Amino acid sequence: MTGKVLITGGAGFIGSHLAKKLVSAGVQVGILDNFDDFYSPQAKRQNIKGLKAKLFTADIRDPEAVKTAAAEGWDAIVHLAALAGVRPSIASPRSYIETNVTGTLNVLEAARSAGISQVVFGSSSSVYGASGKGPFKESSPLPATLSPYAATKVAGEQLCSVYSHLHGIRCLVLRFFTVYGPGQRPDLAISKFTRAILEDRPIPFHGDGSSRRDYTHVSDIVAGISSALDYRKTPYEVFNLGSGRRITLAQLVKTLEQITGKAATIERLPAQSADMPETWADLDRAQQVLGYEPKTLLRAGLEKFVAWATNASY
């Protein structure tokens, strides 16, 4: 395991889970986060409360602040900071470009300046867009993204490729497939649906329920990131991190009803044009190269999530 790791977005959902795992493994961890209000800043502070890590309260849009944080002898950067969400990006594309593209450029420049040799970049299954029927392979062409968010992730991947080629930074691009688990962002389906069912509120249900998603437990994503930090072979690689399975939206709601013991009230809404009809990860490359093996089946992961959501204070 790498000795010193800086995590951008380290107070967020995935970042905080990763930070806790690395700290428990004896890794020196730095967290760079601006605690924005896309969702509760207090929740993010709670995520890292008591964690033995060096905190840099800074925005990746500020190149000098990122350079200052990077100049502390880190062996690697895990770049997870981003404006998230497909649908919000439609309303505010410029903000997504500024944060996700220019911010990624700032992180890569800071890594170059500081002589950091390894960057792990958190990308998204949304890059596959209109690629066709899954399972999606990393070698699949990306003919048409469907949202500004997805476009910013494609741009980030390309910047990583460029900095690997020009400046010798080993860049590992990890395409995450719909991550869930304790602390999940409240705008995502599993979190939104669970809380609505528990609180007897209607579920905002877009489309006819036939869209399918590859839901991946955060513990499996963290294991994949940890393996990428140990990767030392080629200078640039792209890996899918998913569960390798998918479930329809309708089946997801039914499963949550079974776990909670409560019936959902469905608020029928039109399908969203920016939403992909299906996400489904081909895991062959990640399994063969990283030794990645997702361990949490969806039903078990949902049971744990419902238990957490029932008792969560935020």
Q: Write a three-state SS string for the chain.
A: CCCEEEEECCCCHHHHHHHHHHHHCCCEEEEEECCCCCCCHHHHHHHCCCCCCEEEECCCCCHHHHHHHHCCCCCEEEECCCCCCHHHHHHCHHHHHHHHHHHHHHHHHHHHHHCCCEEEEEEEHHHHCCCCCCCECCCCCCCCCCCHHHHHHHHHHHHHHHHHHHHCCEEEEEEECCEECCCCCCCCHHHHHHHHHHCCCEEEEECCCCCEECCEEHHHHHHHHHHHHHCCCCCEEEEEECCCCCEEHHHHHHHHHHHHCCCCEEEEECCCCCCCCECCECCHHHHHHHCCCCCCCHHHHHHHHHHHHHHCCC
Q: What is the mean pLDDT of the chain?
A: 94
Q: What is the pLDDT of residue 311?
A: 83
* Domain assignment present for 213: no
Report which of residues 252 and 273 the model is more confident about. Answer: 252
Q: Find all residues with CB under 8 Å of 291, minimum gap 6, and list them.
A: 227
* Exposed e or buried b per residue across 155-188, where buried means at least 16 C-beta atoms within 10 angstroms of its C-beta: bbbebbeebbeeeebbbbbbbbbbbbbbbbbbeb
Q: What is the pLDDT of residue 139?
A: 92
How many domains are contained in the chain?
A: 1
Q: What is the pLDDT of residue 2?
A: 60
* Domain assignment present for 202: no
* Domain assignment present for 229: yes
* Domain assignment present for 111: yes
Residue 235 sits in a domain of what CATH number? 3.40.50.720
Q: What's the pLDDT band for 78 if we cut at 50, 70, 90?
A: very high
* Domain assignment present for 35: yes
* Domain assignment present for 304: no
Distance CA 178, CA 189 (A): 9
Q: What's the pLDDT band for 205 if we cut at 50, 70, 90?
A: confident
pTM metric for this prediction: 0.95
Q: Are the C-beta atoms of residues 10 and 48 closer than 8 Å to each other?
A: yes
pLDDT tens string 46-57: 999 999 999 999
pLDDT above 90: residue 144: no
The letter for the amino acid at 109 is E
pLDDT tens string 7-58: 999 999 999 999 999 999 999 999 999 998 888 889 899 999 999 999 999 9
Q: Find all residues with CB under 8 Å of 122, minimum gap 6, and list them.
A: 9, 14, 78, 79, 80, 82, 174, 176, 225
Of 39, 128, 149, 180, the catalytic one is: 149
pLDDT, average across residues 285-304? 97
Distance CA 176, CA 197 (A): 26
* Domain assignment present for 19: yes
Rg (CA), the chain: 19
pLDDT, average across residues 125-139? 88
pLDDT, average across residues 180-205? 91
236 noted as active-site residue: no
Which range marks the domain in which residue 124 is found? Answer: 4-179+218-244+280-294
